[in-house]
Amino acid sequence: MEYHVDVAVIGFGKAGKTIAMKRAKAGDKVVVIEQSPEMYGGTCINIGCVPTKTLLHQVREYAAAATLNDTPLDGQTIWDNAKAHRDSLIAKMNSANKAMVENAGATIVDGQAHFLDDHTLQVGDTVVTAETIIINTGAIARTLPVPGGDHRLVVDSTGIQQITTLPKKLVIIGGGPIGVEFASLMLPLGVEVTMLDAADTFLGRIDQQIAPAVLEHLKQQGLHYVGGAQVTAVEGAATADEVTVVAEVDGTTQRYAASLVLTAIGRIPATDALALENTSITVTDRGAIAVDAQCRTGVDGVYAVGDVTGAPQFTYLSFDDHRIVLHDRWGIGDVRSREHRIIPTTTFIDPPLSTVGKTTAELDEAGIEYTTRSAAVADIAVMPRPKIVGQSQGNIVFHIGTDDQILGATLWCVDSQEIINTVVLAMQANVPATEVGNLIVTHPSSSELLNGVLG
């Protein structure tokens, strides 16, 4: 079968599916190529943001109910219920995303796409030629490059979501946001969690005025954290129910027993199967597709968006990429660029940890003058919501420039994933910190931290 189309999108992720729907509704002939029906909707919906946050929420709700009712906490039952809820939700969202794309008028082609030339793709026995191609293949988990790294008890962030029996001892290799979130997920279930972090500093990209307190909070929940740990092997018979993770720590060899090992050592752009050697598309030394500020690959009409470009791996950046491409290719919307984007982040521990802008270390290294306004959440008198919901732990840090502009913020508190977006808007619109501190906000709400810290 052959398709001659206006737009071909490779991958069902946020940017790609949004472009596909909008161009199909505009009258273009569009195909969306997806290697697996299980991934309709993209990584975020099926194996990333949505399912993991669903598990986190469900586990916390069930654990809180057990505490409230003074009943024994049965981690396995909680996991079973949380996983069932997750599976039901994801099945519905997967189906809904397929329907949305098809109802918009686009055609879905199942299978792995690879390039025959700059504007021709092969998917099984199907050949697709397109004037515009959007490469939207995302990223995949980095495998553990040590002997035993492929043991059946070694899983990635997708595999751990599918386990049916909770491990007694979980070793997490990697101390970034993914590893920290899964530690936060497993600890309330009674799992013994050890985190082996190659970095010497916990959450080194987070402002170190707050990161140590976050680590202490996780330790109080039972986390065994080992920094500066270089994993060298995973040992155990293929059929064993337990393995040993071997690591070099402070010049000595340490061994950690595990009934499950989670590798959370990063994700790499998914480009290997695309046969880019048949094209003029450039790939970086890290395997990402090289693009400019408008997501252009250098081949006319061929764009790459989202994680496959090596950009920070956030769904909302992929969504912004779709706006960039719509304007650059079709003149739709305002002129946009990947340059100078103000990017918030949230690590969904309990309470969530959110950031935007520069940290103390980054400002000091750049020689930028600033002042810091900070407070412990429990000490912000004008913000009672954390006490109301029983989550008064946390800290707030704002860095303010000499012109009263917000240069960076780290919010570790209940609802921080929402409040950080107000800070992003203020930074983007150049609203002075004083004005942000004088905002009239609802009460009781976590947004009152703006009044308490900046007012």
Q: How many whole angstroms separate alpha carbon 236 and alpha carbon 373?
A: 51
449 in a structural domain: yes
Q: Are 382 and 412 members of one domain?
A: yes
Q: How many whole angstroms separate alpha carbon 303 and alpha carbon 295?
A: 6
Q: Are 259 and 272 members of one domain?
A: no
Amino acid making up residue 147: P
What was the pLDDT predicted at 67? Answer: 78
pLDDT of 154 higher than 80 = yes
Q: How many whole angstroms separate alpha carbon 137 and alpha carbon 129?
A: 18
Q: Are 301 and 354 members of one domain?
A: no
Q: Are 408 and 349 members of one domain?
A: yes
339 in a structural domain: no
Which residue ranges make up the annotated binding site for FAD? 53, 307
- List strand residue ranges (DSSP E) for 183-328, in order: 192-197, 224-227, 229-235, 243-249, 252-258, 260-263, 267-269, 302-304
323 in a structural domain: yes
For 315-360, how does the pLDDT look when each residue is reduced to its tens digit (9 = 90+)? 999 999 999 999 999 999 999 999 999 999 999 999 999 999 999 9
What was the pLDDT predicted at 427? Answer: 99
Instruction: State the virtual CA torsion across 34, 313, 203, 424 in degrees, nearest 10.
Output: -140
pLDDT of 118 higher than 80 = yes
Query: For position 182, which CATH number holds?
Result: 3.50.50.60
Q: Are 69 and 8 members of one domain?
A: yes
Residue where a domain terminates, one of 209, 240, 265 = 265
Separation in Å, CA 454 to CA 342, 368, 414, 415:
20, 20, 18, 18
Which residue ranges make up the annotated binding site? 53, 174-181, 266, 307
Three-state DSSP class for 337? coil
For 182-215, how does the pLDDT look when each residue is reduced to its tens digit (9 = 90+)? 999 999 999 999 999 999 999 999 999 999 999 9
336 in a structural domain: no
Q: Are 21 and 161 members of one domain?
A: no
Q: Are 321 and 378 members of one domain?
A: no
Q: Are 259 and 179 members of one domain?
A: yes
325 in a structural domain: yes
pLDDT of 160 higher than 90 = yes
Q: Are 250 and 274 members of one domain?
A: no
282 in a structural domain: yes
149 in a structural domain: no
**Residue 425 · residue 408 · CB < 8 Å:** no
For 288-319, how does the pLDDT look when each residue is reduced to its tens digit (9 = 90+)? 999 999 999 999 999 999 999 999 999 999 99
Over residues 119-138, mean pLDDT: 98
Tokens of 330: 């079709």
221 in a structural domain: yes
pLDDT grade for 33, boundaries at 50, 70 and 90: very high
Which residue ranges make up the annotated binding site for NAD(+)? 174-181, 266
Residue where a domain terminates, one of 245, 265, 285 = 265
Query: For position 352, which CATH number holds?
Result: 3.30.390.30
Q: Are 372 and 415 members of one domain?
A: yes
Q: Is 151 a catalytic residue?
A: no
Q: How many whole angstroms separate alpha carbon 308 and alpha carbon 351?
A: 30
Please choose, from the candidates 124, 103, 101, the residue with its C-alpha nearest in 3D space to the C-alpha of residue 17.
101
Q: Are 136 and 273 members of one domain?
A: yes
pLDDT, averaged across the chain: 97
For 211-252, how does the pLDDT look when each residue is reduced to its tens digit (9 = 90+)? 999 999 999 999 999 999 999 999 999 899 999 999 999 999
- Per DSSP bridges, beta strands 126-135 and 120-123 are antiparallel
Residue where a domain terminates, one of 330, 354, 381 = 330
Q: Give the CA radius of gyration of the chain.
A: 23
pLDDT of 38 higher than 90 = yes
Task: Give me the number of domains the chain comprises.
Answer: 3
Q: Are 260 and 272 members of one domain?
A: no
What was the pLDDT predicted at 73? Answer: 83
For 56-73, how does the pLDDT look when each residue is reduced to its tens digit (9 = 90+)? 999 999 888 887 777 888
pTM for the full predicted model: 0.95
What was the pLDDT predicted at 136? Answer: 98
Three-state DSSP class for 75? helix
pLDDT > 90 in the chain, percent: 96
Length of the chain: 455
What was the pLDDT predicted at 96? Answer: 98
Give the domain range for residue 222.
154-265
